[in-house]
Amino acid sequence: MRRPAFIAVAALVLAATTNSSSFAQVTAIKAGRLIDPEAGTVATNQVILVEKGKFTAVGGNVAIPQGATVIDLSQLTVSPGFVDAHNHLALTYKVEPERNSYYVTTILESTPLRAIQAVSNGIQMLAAGFTIVRDMGNNGNYADVALRQAIEQGWVPGPTIINSGIIIGGMGGQFWPTPEMARDHKIVYPEYLDADTHDEIIKAVRQNALFGARVIKICVDCKPWGYTVEDIALFVSEAARIGMKVEGHVQTVDGARRAIEAGLWSIAHDNGLTDEMHKLMAKKGIWRAGTETPITLLEGNHTNPARYAKTVAGLKNAYENKVNLTFSTDADYYVPGKTRGEVAIDFIETWKAAGIPPVDILRAMTIGGYRVSETENKRGPIKVGMAADLVAMTGNPLEKIDAVRDVRFVLKDGAVFKANGVMTPAAFFHGGPVNGANIR
């Protein structure tokens, strides 16, 4: 007897809740200025409607539905969220205790510890306005996959993660281990996945796909012998069968030449990218994730004056050659007093030094990032049908790019993560997989 009565009451409560919340499900954002980075324009006094995590209307004449939750950003400039096309969220090396050698970090810190660190770094990136991060390896035993799954299932807030799983290299990866440490103790794995023969290349790509990678990252020339054009092309074709693109770590001109000839999707780091390579990249539409460390990171030896001058000249040359540009940092270290997001944002200094106009810096940080991440048709632009991600700042970054340093508001999948400059992540924490438990 008691049971049916309880169910009836529960049904009434449920009905009432559903009715009242159907109004509140619409969020209306009043944007004082709204930037379209692609067009390079700013529209004033816009209204953006959000429902079920997606944009449903954007424009100057959009009526705000009765009962909608109104967010007033009329004093701010609204922009699509930023993308860091190359980060390592589950890796943070430091002066103490490892003297900024990530080799040591991989020995001292367990994958579970690094996975927790990745959650924190992800939150710090989101707070700085990065709504998408491409997480390109060096994340222990698939901590990047765990981070992506935790965010996608709805346990914790964070950027949308496009992750590579384990970096695939020829034997040794980026390490130069002793024979006993490599052969007897297998110290290279899981930081790198050895693949030297064609069978091993196919198997390594499939391993990363099986364990949750969304993009493949390879070491093109981490060893002087490196991968051949044929090897790289095999990576590209095997990844394509699974629906994934391949990014290559490239550090020499010769490596860049092979990577470009084989048709890699994106090239990480600028060391091997000369004027000739840029021209070839532009012709093939290959993305540049140059990871242009700013001179502000002189301390900690993350760059030096000669290296920085080369980086600035290289970025300027890439821009002049109309290479597809992304904003990328390779930020995988601790800078005392700064969050991971603040470290990443500081990379605009290099872009400014290269003389790139604010609109094109913002394009690299937004559209370039969506395209290299292949999210541009579902996430990124503030357009009807897209996932409701956006940021807002006090200044106008099209006039002065430094405005991106002061992100006051962040919306992710339609929920407010930051308002009035303060993180408000309560809506993102859940005790279970609210977005589904079967996210792989």
Nearer to Zn ion, 46 or 293 (CB): 293
Smallest gap from residue 365 Cβ to Zn ion (A)? 18
Between CA 344 and CA 218 the distance in angstroms is 23
Nearer to Zn ion, 191 or 330 (CB): 330
Smallest gap from residue 106 Cβ to Zn ion (A)? 14
Within 321-430, residue ranges assigned H as helices are 340-345, 348-353, 358-363, 369-373
Between CA 158 and CA 429 the distance in angstroms is 11
Smallest gap from residue 217 Cβ to Zn ion (A)? 8
Cis ω for the linkage preceding 305 (within 30 of 0): no
Nearer to Zn ion, 85 or 388 (CB): 85
Between CA 278 and CA 276 the distance in angstroms is 5
Return the exposure string of 266-289: e unless at least 16 CB atoms fall within 10 Å of the residue's CB, then b: bbbbbbbbeeebbebbbeeebbbb
Write the burial class of residue 195 (CB in 10 Å: 0-12 exposed, 13-18 middle, 19+ buried). buried
Determine the interface stretch with Zn ion among 19-27, 150-158, 305-313, 325-333 (rule: CB under 5 A): 325-333
Between CA 440 and CA 437 the distance in angstroms is 9
Q: Is 221 in the site for Zn ion (CB under 5 A)?
A: no
Nearer to Zn ion, 69 or 252 (CB): 252
Between CA 117 and CA 107 the distance in angstroms is 16
Q: Give the length of the chain.
A: 440
Nearer to Zn ion, 104 or 419 (CB): 104
Nearer to Zn ion, 77 or 291 (CB): 291
Between CA 415 and CA 67 the distance in angstroms is 17
Total interface residues for Zn ion by CB under 5 A? 1
Smallest gap from residue 136 Cβ to Zn ion (A)? 5
Cα 437 to Cα 111, 148, 259, distances in angstroms: 22, 13, 38
Nearer to Zn ion, 36 or 191 (CB): 191
Smallest gap from residue 145 Cβ to Zn ion (A)? 17
Determine the interface stretch with Zn ion among 14-22, 329-337, 355-363, 414-422 (rule: CB under 5 A): 329-337
Determine the interface stretch with Zn ion among 65-73, 142-150, 322-330, 424-432 (rule: CB under 5 A): 322-330
Between CA 233 and CA 98 the distance in angstroms is 37
Determine the interface stretch with Zn ion among 26-34, 119-127, 227-235, 328-336 (rule: CB under 5 A): 328-336
Q: How is residue 393 written in tokens?
A: 């700042």
Nearer to Zn ion, 144 or 330 (CB): 330
- In the complex, residue closest to Zn ion by CB: 330
Smallest gap from residue 249 Cβ to Zn ion (A)? 7
Q: Is 330 in the site for Zn ion (CB under 5 A)?
A: yes
Smallest gap from residue 86 Cβ to Zn ion (A)? 6
Smallest gap from residue 160 Cβ to Zn ion (A)? 19
Q: Is 191 in the site for Zn ion (CB under 5 A)?
A: no
Determine the interface stretch with Zn ion among 66-74, 174-182, 282-290, 324-332 (rule: CB under 5 A): 324-332
Binding mask 195-214 for Zn ion (x = CB under 5 A): --------------------
Q: Is 36 in the site for Zn ion (CB under 5 A)?
A: no
Nearer to Zn ion, 219 or 280 (CB): 219
Q: Give the Cα-Cα-Cα angle 220, 242, 119 (nearest 5 degrees).
A: 75
Between CA 318 and CA 276 the distance in angstroms is 10
Determine the interface stretch with Zn ion among 159-167, 219-227, 323-331, 430-438 (rule: CB under 5 A): 323-331
Smallest gap from residue 81 Cβ to Zn ion (A)? 21
- Per the DSSP assignment, residues forming a β-bridge with 44 are 33
Within 133-228, residue ranges assigned H as helices are 143-153, 179, 198-210
- Looking at residue 14, its amino acid is L
Q: Is 346 in the site for Zn ion (CB under 5 A)?
A: no
Residues making contact with Zn ion (CB under 5 A): 330
